[in-house]
Structure formats: structure tokens, C-alpha cells
């Protein structure tokens, strides 16, 4: 059986593309006793409020028709953001050489956050270049990898 996020992604992708955007991610999560369905968008030049509004209206109608989620939920559409999480292999390929932050589940060398340049990705493992020294993080130790804005 398909996951809710996969069903919604298949349903939403054409409507998102019609708006000139890319569907970056779909989340279906429970927070503070409520279910949230979130679509994250990306677009060259950035996503604005009008993009989010147009996609929200179109996808909301599609969700009402298809009714893939039995429970009640709050529907949100937003930009993936400049410091978005990298999840899929294609995300890592696209942003190879970019500044990232790696967060680990357990302390490593006395800390859980490591900032550097994305230098490699293989089967879920991430290689980070930290001022010329490479550090490898195995998939099981990584809680989150996200882009990092450097000023």
C-alpha cells in the first residue's frame, strides 16, 4: 500500500508543475494533536506567496476530489526555503559543493552539529569537507542534512 505522502505527491505534481514550480517534498505529520499535510515548493528565482496560493487552491480541490486521507488535517503549502533539508539522492547530487549542516543523533567529538561543504554522498552516507579535512557520516548516524546560508 502506498504511503499518504506518495499518493499526495503523485496527485499534486502536475498542478505544481502547471504553476511553474517543482514539488520539493510532502510531509504528513502529527504535531500538537493535529495532522498536517505540507507541500514544499521550489522554483528558479524563488517561490512567492502567489505561487503558494495558486498551488494550494488547485491541490486542495484535487485532494477534496480524490479524498486520499480519511482523517481531518491542516493543509499548508510553502517554499522549501533557503536552508531546506536534503533527503533524496537527487538532492545531494544537485547541491554537491554547497555549504551544508549535518546534525547527528549522538555526540561525535563532543558535538552533534557539523558545518562544511558537501563533498560526497553514497548510499545515504555523507562526506563533509571541513576546511580541507573530510569527515564521513554514515546514514544511521545522520539526523538531518540541510543547506546552510553563509554570509
- Domain 4-79: CATH class, spelled out: alpha beta
Which CATH architecture fits 89-147? Roll (2.30)
Please give the torsion angle defined by the CA atoms of residues 128, 98, 19 and 73, in that order, rounded to the nearest 10 degrees: 40
* pTM for this entry: 0.84
pLDDT of residue 1: 74
pLDDT of residue 65: 93
Strands (E), the chain: 22-31, 34-42, 74-79, 99-108, 111-122, 125-130, 133-137, 142-147
Sequence ranges of the domains in the chain? 4-79, 89-147
Q: What is the pLDDT along the chain (151 residues), one digit of tens a residue?
A: 789 999 999 999 999 999 999 999 999 999 999 999 999 999 999 999 999 999 999 999 999 999 999 889 999 999 999 999 999 999 999 999 999 999 999 999 999 999 999 999 999 999 999 999 999 999 999 999 999 998 8
pLDDT of residue 92: 96
State how far the Cα of 18 lies from the Cα of 5, in Å rounded to an integer: 20
Amino acid at each position: 500500500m502506498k504511503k499518504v505522502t506518495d499518493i499526495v505527491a503523485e496527485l499534486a505534481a502536475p498542478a505544481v508543475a502547471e504553476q511553474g514550480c517543482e514539488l520539493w517534498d510532502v510531509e504528513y505529520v502529527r504535531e500538537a494533536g493535529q495532522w498536517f499535510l505540507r507541500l514544499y515548493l521550489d522554483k528558479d528565482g524563488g517561490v512567492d506567496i502567489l505561487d503558494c496560493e495558486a498551488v494550494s487552491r488547485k491541490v486542495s480541490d484535487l485532494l477534496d476530489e480524490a479524498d486520499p486521507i480519511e482523517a481531518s488535517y491542516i493543509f499548508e503549502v510553502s517554499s522549501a526555503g533557503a536552508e531546506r533539508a536534503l533527503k533524496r539522492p537527487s538532492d545531494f547530487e544537485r547541491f554537491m559543493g554547497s555549504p551544508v549542516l549535518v546534525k547527528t543523533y549522538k555526540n561525535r567529538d563532543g558535538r552533534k552539529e557539523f558545518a562544511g561543504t558537501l563533498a560526497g554522498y553514497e548510499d545515504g552516507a555523507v562526506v563533509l569537507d571541513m576546511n580541507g579535512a573530510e569527515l564521513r557520516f554514515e546514514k544511521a548516524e545522520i539526523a538531518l542534512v540541510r543547506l546552510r546560508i553563509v554570509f
